[in-house]
Amino acid sequence: MKIYNFSPGPACLSNSALNAAGEAAKEYNNSGMSILEMSHRSKEVVSLFEEGTANIKSLLSVPDNYHILWLQGGASTQFAMIPMNLIPKGGSADYIETGAWSSKAIKECAKVSNVNVIGSSKESIYNYIPKNFEQNIDSSYMHITSNNTIYGTQYKKYPKVNNPDGFLVADMSSDILSKPINVSDFGLIYAGAQKNMGPAGVTLVIIRDDLVGKNYSEIPTMLNYETHVKKKSMFNTPPVFSVFVVNETLKWLQSLGGLSEMEKMNERKAQKLYYEIERNSLFKSPIAEEDRSLMNVPFIFTDSSLNDADFLQFCDDRGLKTLKGHRSVGGFRASIYNAMPEVGVDTLIATMQDYETH
Ligand SMILES: Cc1ncc(COP(=O)(O)O)c(C=O)c1O
């Protein structure tokens, strides 16, 4: 039976990236060595990092005044690095709270600086993206979470920063590379790899050149962006295998026609799933229609007395795995990142229809 993995992350990867990972784990580029045992100082690995960086730049059309960094510590470490590096002493930043991940980012910012939560949808269990808020004119940046993995909301239009010296910062962990973006709208973009890019272990940071090396205060070496810019992400031993798999994913995306093509595919997959959720008498979406995510699609029973575990087992028996909603919201969640084939979504829809009539 064909298995489809709807996990929110670590998530399904393309067959081409997985096959290449299997080969490279055995032997990398006819070197007689596995990539897992290769020095990051070797010319093979240095050129792998250069290739990965060039592929990110080309897929996302990254302007020349931005740096690409391959870091460790997950998106969670960025929650602290961003305010440490980008807010002057006594300064502040604006945050929009759209879910558990932005709450965590806010908490970390509050440890090192003043934080203004200028918009929040917490009161309605984050089922929409707040759009009316007052920015603070002296805040260094505004932080958003572009796609909310747990609740299934996604920005369709990014807010503009009012402060002429300010900039937008986005946690794009769960929708990076799902569609084209205008990188110059942002001062900094970050994303853990393990949803739409590759395996866990590496975090992509795209940072505008003028934001590097501000050194407003003493920052531990590993937490200073300047360290990683100067050393081309090789200050310490980087996660080579994770970067390899990300680069294979980038090559796969290019072979499919790049991010405009991915956007079309992602829209098609999400639209048909949302259509079925609306049509099927058993299910409904808890999320405001205009903010529904193309990546993470939560849904619940219309009749709350029905048993979630029964539907999950029905799916599991048909090869549809990890559809349980996050423990904080319950119900179901289908994560349909780039690597989820359309036939996987079609199989889920057919299973929802079978469940309705069985
Ligand atoms: C939007 C978002 N931000 C941050 C994180 C945390 O990422 P990490 O585990 O890489 O620290 C996640 C993980 O699920 C996420 O979905």
pLDDT digits (tens, 9 = 90+) for 16-37: 999 999 999 999 999 999 999 9
**End-to-end Cα separation, the chain, in angstroms:** 21
Q: Which residues 6+ apart lie within 8 Å of 288 measured at CB?
A: 127, 128, 129, 153
Q: Ligand 1: distance of its center to the CA of 117 in Å?
A: 19
Q: Which residues 6+ apart lie within 8 Å of 223 measured at CB?
A: 77, 80, 81, 84, 85
- Claim to verify: residue 68 and residue 201 sit in the same structural domain: yes
Q: What is the bridge-based pairing of β-strands 114-120 and 92-97?
A: parallel
CA distance 155 to 29: 41
Atom of ligand 1 nearest to the CA of 194: 10
Instruction: Give percent of the chain above pLDDT 90.
Output: 99
pLDDT digits (tens, 9 = 90+) for 173-223: 999 999 999 999 999 999 999 999 999 999 999 999 999 999 999 999 999
pLDDT digits (tens, 9 = 90+) for 42-98: 999 999 999 999 999 999 999 999 999 999 999 999 999 999 999 999 999 999 999
pLDDT digits (tens, 9 = 90+) for 257-313: 999 999 999 999 999 999 999 999 999 999 999 999 999 999 999 999 999 999 999
Q: Tell me which H or E stretch contains 352.
A: helix 342-357
Residue 18, classed as helix, strand or coil, is helix
Which one of 79, 98, 101 would you pick to mutate in the ligand 1 pocket, going by the greatest count of ligand atoms within 8 A of its CB? 101
Q: What's the mean pLDDT in 138-162?
A: 97
Q: Ligand 1: distance of its center to the CA of 99 in Å?
A: 11
CA distance 26 to 33: 7
- Claim to verify: residue 93 and residue 199 sit in the same structural domain: yes
Among protein residues, the one whose CA lies closest to atom 16 of ligand 1: 149
Residue 2 included in any domain: no
CA distance 255 to 187: 29
Among 226, 255, 284, the domain-final residue is 255
Atom of ligand 1 nearest to the CA of 148: 1
Among protein residues, the one whose CA lies closest to atom 2 of ligand 1: 173
CA distance 255 to 44: 23
- Claim to verify: residue 54 and residue 156 sit in the same structural domain: yes
Burial 108-143 (b: 16+ CB within 10 A, else e): bbeebbebbbbbbbeeeebbbbbeeeebbeebbbbb
Query: Closest by alpha carbon to 166, among 271, 95, 61, 252?
Result: 95
Per the CB < 8 A criterion, the answer to whether 151 and 126 are in contact is: yes
| Cβ-based neighbour number of residue 236 at 10 Å | 12
Which one of 7, 72, 76, 178 would you pick to mutate in the ligand 1 pocket, going by the greatest count of ligand atoms within 8 A of its CB? 76
- Claim to verify: residue 326 and residue 233 sit in the same structural domain: no
Q: Ligand 1: distance of its center to the CA of 51 in Å?
A: 25
So what's the pLDDT on residue 57? 98
- Claim to verify: residue 178 and residue 42 sit in the same structural domain: yes
| Cβ-based neighbour number of residue 1 at 10 Å | 6
Among protein residues, the one whose CA lies closest to atom 10 of ligand 1: 74
Structural domain including 213 reads: 15-255
Residue 3 included in any domain: no
Which one of 149, 153, 322 would you pick to mutate in the ligand 1 pocket, going by the greatest count of ligand atoms within 8 A of its CB? 149
Q: Ligand 1: distance of its center to the CA of 268 in Å?
A: 25
Residue 352 included in any domain: yes
Pocket of ligand 1 from Cβ distances under 6 Å: 9, 74-76, 101, 145, 149, 171, 173-174, 192
- Claim to verify: residue 26 and residue 167 sit in the same structural domain: yes
Q: What is the DSSP letter of 11?
A: -
| Cβ-based neighbour number of residue 6 at 10 Å | 24
- Claim to verify: residue 179 and residue 242 sit in the same structural domain: yes
Residue 69 included in any domain: yes
Residue 349 included in any domain: yes
Residue 8 included in any domain: no
Atom of ligand 1 nearest to the CA of 99: 1
Q: Tell me which H or E stretch contains 26.
A: helix 15-26
pTM of the model: 0.98
- Claim to verify: residue 224 and residue 306 sit in the same structural domain: no
Structural domain total, the chain: 2
Q: Ligand 1: distance of its center to the CA of 1 in Å?
A: 31
Among 236, 255, 274, the domain-final residue is 255
Per the CB < 8 A criterion, the answer to whether 327 and 250 are in contact is: no
Q: How many residues does the chain have?
A: 358
- Claim to verify: residue 72 and residue 202 sit in the same structural domain: yes
Q: What is the CATH number of the domain that holds 321?
A: 3.90.1150.10
So what's the pLDDT on residue 318? 97
Q: Ligand 1: distance of its center to the CA of 206 in Å?
A: 16
Per the CB < 8 A criterion, the answer to whether 14 and 246 are in contact is: no
So what's the pLDDT on residue 194? 98
So what's the pLDDT on residue 175? 98
Burial 209-225 (b: 16+ CB within 10 A, else e): eebbebeeeebeeebbb
Which residues lie across from 350 on neighbouring strands? Answer: none
Q: Ligand 1: distance of its center to the CA of 84 in Å?
A: 19
Among 204, 232, 255, the domain-final residue is 255
- Claim to verify: residue 104 and residue 248 sit in the same structural domain: yes
- Claim to verify: residue 207 and residue 288 sit in the same structural domain: no
Please work out, in degrees rounded to the nearest 5, the angle formed at the alpha carbon of residue 28 by the alpha carbons of 194 and 255: 55
CA distance 263 to 156: 12
CA distance 200 to 191: 11
- Claim to verify: residue 248 and residue 273 sit in the same structural domain: no
Among protein residues, the one whose CA lies closest to atom 1 of ligand 1: 173
Residue 7 included in any domain: no
pLDDT at 329 over 90: no
Active site residue 101: yes
Catalytic residue among 175, 195, 291, 324: 195
| Structure confidence at residue 328 as a pLDDT band (50, 70, 90) | confident
Active site residue 230: no
pLDDT at 120 over 90: yes
Active site residue 195: yes
Q: What is the CATH number of the domain that holds 210?
A: 3.40.640.10
